[in-house]
Chain A
Amino acid sequence: DAGVTQSPTHLIKTRGQHVTLRCSPISGHKSVSWYQQVLGQGPQFIFQYYEKEERGRGNFPDRFSARQFPNYSSELNVNALLLGDSALYLCASSFRGLLAKNIQYFGAGTRLSVL
């Protein structure tokens, strides 16, 4: 079975540009969360989507937005890129049923470099 898949693997953008990152959850998982991991730090929560609705938002500016599609895949959008947005962006999916055990499964991430 395929795990959480993210695309693209690497991305290079310049300041002020816009970027879209994509995530496909594990089959049967309806919840997707996004995290930002700056070099040398632990991941920080950005968004959670469940059944196509936003269920949680971290302390990130409005330049960050996301959405979830009917097939439960998700996009993270970042506008007006800043140098500080350079990071590894991780997507995680979960089952959210009675047997879910609150476990999130992570993809390998998208490495974004802003020049």
Chain B
Amino acid sequence: AQTVTQSQPEMSVQEAETVTLSCTYDTSESDYYLFWYKQPPSRQMILVIRQEAYKQQNATENRFSVNFQKAAKSFSLKISDSQLGDAAMYFCAYVPGGGSEKLVFGKGTKLTVNP
């Protein structure tokens, strides 16, 4: 069974600094997708960034980037120039290819941004 592990229950960062959130996953599939979702206190899951396993290039979305290490099954999220609005729970998620929509989530990392 696929599993996603986030080893950092909580992280904190100073405003304008950079922080990296860790995620590892376990799968025997070769075709899959990885995501980072953000869940603020409003509860709504918001997609931050997406990575296709067959792409070697790391995904980037403005201040957010990933370090995707397929062989190590590692998928970390880097947030640059952290802003107060980045404070939230961050969830790493996996879904196999082939049309499945069964997202498998990690337990989350609570990010605090200090002014």
Report which A residues bind B (CB closer than 8 A).
31, 33, 35, 40-45, 48, 50, 55-56, 58, 88, 90, 92, 94, 96, 101-109, 111
Contact = CB atoms under 8 A, between A and B. Distances in A.
A101 B93 CA distance: 14
A45 B104 contact: yes
Interface string B63-93: 0000000000000000000000000000101
B30 to A, nearest CB: 15
Contacts of A108: 42-44
Nearest to A106: B45
A92 B37 CA distance: 13
Contacts, number: 62
Q: Determine which residue in A44, A94, A104, A107 has the highest number of CB atoms from chain B within 10 A of its CB, and name it.
A: A104
B47 A103 contact: yes
B102 A103 contact: no
Given A41-B108, A94-B101, A96-B99, 5 more contacts: A43-B103, A44-B105, A56-B101, A92-B101, A92-B103
A88 B102 CA distance: 17
B44 A107 contact: yes
